[in-house]
Structure formats: structure tokens, C-alpha cells
Amino acid sequence: MRIRKQRGGGGGLAVLVVLHAVTRQPALENYRSNGKRRKNRNCKGVIPAEWELFGHLTALKLYPLKSGKGINLEEAEPTFLGLKSGLLRDRFFIVYDERGCFVSGRKYPKMVLITVSAADNGSFKFEAPGHESLIIESPERLSKQHYKDHKFNIRLWSNRVTGLDAGDEAAKWISQLLLSKEDGLRIGCYVPDIAVERKVTPLDKVYKNLTSDDTGAYSDLSAFLLISEDSVAELNERLEDPDKVTYENFRPNLLIKSKDGKKPFMEDDWEWCRIGDKNGPVFRSVKPCTRCIFTTVDPKTGVKNEHMEPLNTLKLYRKLKDPEALRLEGDSPVMGVNLGLYKDGNLKVGDPIYVGIVNKSS
């Protein structure tokens, strides 16, 4: 692996992480899309035949780095591993420590200021305010030996996940940024053909629609997170001006709005939604999204809210109601829903969103 430093504009340095494996179409991703995880899941008779218009898609957001800054998109491709736009994939990069555990913006809020963009020659540009960086270039083809030498296996919540380490210079860069020292943290990249299946137990005992097919790359739980503008607006009515939030505090991939803008938390009760026309992608709600301290981090400054908002207010009225869910997840409040992809298609801001009409008696 060759490493070369590159000066950016204004005397700064720009970081480029070139990991050729991300741009490939490796065997396991094909397996996950067309084998047991078919391009469109084998669910004839499950996806609703009738749909009701709810509103429209108002934003698409992709987060190349887990806990990093999101990228606004006008259109994107939903895949079983999350949103895709060109070379960029949702949460394909992760930061982990020397103990082999992932780290996030919960502990290091400044991570929300790290931007990742596609650069030349299949590379990825990492940037952070006021921080020097570097370029890491990989060979045209990654050998089996390269995979063996750079593969990592770390803990992501209750799961073990794998990927390719981005090298010592990238480790130095992220350690200096978050720890103000030369080492301690590393950057990894998701590579489908060395990935392992993520388990969803014991959550699937309560949330019956949740499967390993829904887990995405390095997302906390599922490949897609949806939230509505209506719900954010209702929450802001309860918050004082200094504590008001935007949808970005909740880091969704899909932001929607109802036809009249006055239907907060309706997404709680959905099982199915379709975005676009009859050929558009179909998603299934697999679990309500329980919230943590990360929601208190200002996505523009990387600073936590001193009043612990909006988390404290959400805990007053948005707790789980199911006793079994409460036993598993405690008093974490709900905001948004986790989705699994059941039928592919294209997504574009402005697309209509439909809710599936489910006949419970059938």
C-alpha cells in the first residue's frame, strides 16, 4: 500500500482513503442481493396490494462514516446495505479503538464534523475543520494476502463485524483529531466479500419483522432510518428556543412530510411504505428507533446540548409501551422507524410516499 501526503487549498491537507474493495462488486454482496438475499425478497402475498398517499420525500441523507457528517442527495439508490450514490455508501466507514470496539459520536461528538466525499481514482476524501490529513492509495487489485494483513474483527454493540483497516496514517489522523495523540483509534471500511452476518437476537423475539437481512453495513440496527418533518415540528413545540432541533439531530436517511404537515408520529404505526410510483422501492418497518445521548449533539458544531435536549423531553412522552420492549430497551424514547428494504428502485427528493393498507384479518 502506498501512502502519499497531499496539500489542500489554503495550506491545509486533505485526507484521501483509497480502498479499492469498496468499488468492486464482490461475491458476498452478490450473494446478499441475489442469493438468499434476493434483489427483491421472496415475499409474494406479503407486500400490500393497496396503498394510500401520505405525503412526499423531502430529503435523502447518506452518512459515509458512521457518526460522521451526512451528505444531502437529490437522488440515490437504495440497496440492502443502505443508500448508495456513486462510490459512496451509507456507513461503510467506521472508527474503532485498540480494544477492538467501535466508537461513535456519543463519546466523541466532534465526529459529526468529519466529511467524507468521493475523490479521484476510486478514493475517498476525509476532512475535518483545522486538521491535517493524508492520502492512502491502494493497489489496483487487492490480493488475498492484502485482505489477510488488513482485515479487522471488532465489536459493534452485541455483534462482531469485519472489514479492512485503512492503515497507520489514517489511524494517526483520526487519533490526532479525536484524542489529540498519535494513536489509539483506527479507521475501517466495510467490504462485502469478507463481511459476516449480523445477529438481531434478542430483539427479533419482540420485533417479529426484524431479520439479519435488515442490518446494513455498520448502522446501529437497520440499513434505513425514516423520520417525518411533522414529528420534528411537534417535538420543537415542546422545546425552548435554545434547545430546538432539526431532523439532522436524528440522523435519518429518509425524511418525509405529510400532505398537510400535521401528522406527527404516524410513522409509528406503519408496517409498509413505498416511495415513488408503483415501481418504486418498498420498505418494511422493522423496529421503532430508540434514542440516546447522540441526539443531544448539535450536528453543526459537534457540541452536546447542556440541557440534554431533546432527549429529556422525548423521555416525557415518547417511551416504548410494549412491556417486553421496555424490558429489553429500558426507558429510551422513540423517534423515527428502522426500515428493511423489500423491493428496490430509485429514490428522488420530491417522490410521493405511500403507506401500505394491511388487512389484519387475512
All domains of the chain in start order, with CATH? 51-137+144-356 (2.40.33.20)
Question: Global pTM?
Answer: 0.88
Separation of alpha carbons 39 and 46, rounded Å: 16
**What are φ and ψ of residue 250, in 5° steps?**
-105, -5
CA atoms within 13 A on the CB side of 284: 21
Handedness of CA 212, 295, 65, 165 (dihedral sign): negative
Lowest average pLDDT, out of 183-192, 240-249, 276-285, goes to: 183-192
Handedness of CA 282, 288, 291, 296 (dihedral sign): positive
Q: Burial letters for 53-63: b for 16+ Cβ neighbours within 10 Å, e otherwise? A: ebbebbbbbbb
Contact of 257 with 264, CB cutoff 8 Å: no
Contact of 275 with 284, CB cutoff 8 Å: no
Q: Give the C-alpha distances (Å, rounded to integers) separating 208 from 34, 201, 286.
A: 23, 11, 8
| H-state helical runs in the chain | 27-34, 144-150, 168-179, 229-236, 311-317, 323-329
Contact of 344 with 39, CB cutoff 8 Å: yes
Mean pLDDT across the chain, nearest whole number?
A: 86
Q: Is the peptide bond before 242 cis (omega within 30 degrees of 0)?
A: no
CA atoms within 13 A on the CB side of 169: 19
Q: Is 125 a residue whose pLDDT tops 90? A: no
Q: Which of 127, 147, 144, 145 is nearest to 135 (CA)?
A: 127
Query: Residue 51: which pLDDT band, with cuts at 50, 70 and 90?
Result: very high
pLDDT of residue 77: 98
Q: Give every strand in the sheet of 347-348, ordered side by side.
A: 88-89, 82-85, 75-79, 347-348
Per residue in 75-102, pLDDT (tens digit) is: 999 999 999 999 899 999 999 999 999 9
Query: Residue 120: which pLDDT band, with cuts at 50, 70 and 90?
Result: confident
Per residue in 52-79, pLDDT (tens digit) is: 999 999 999 999 999 999 999 999 999 9
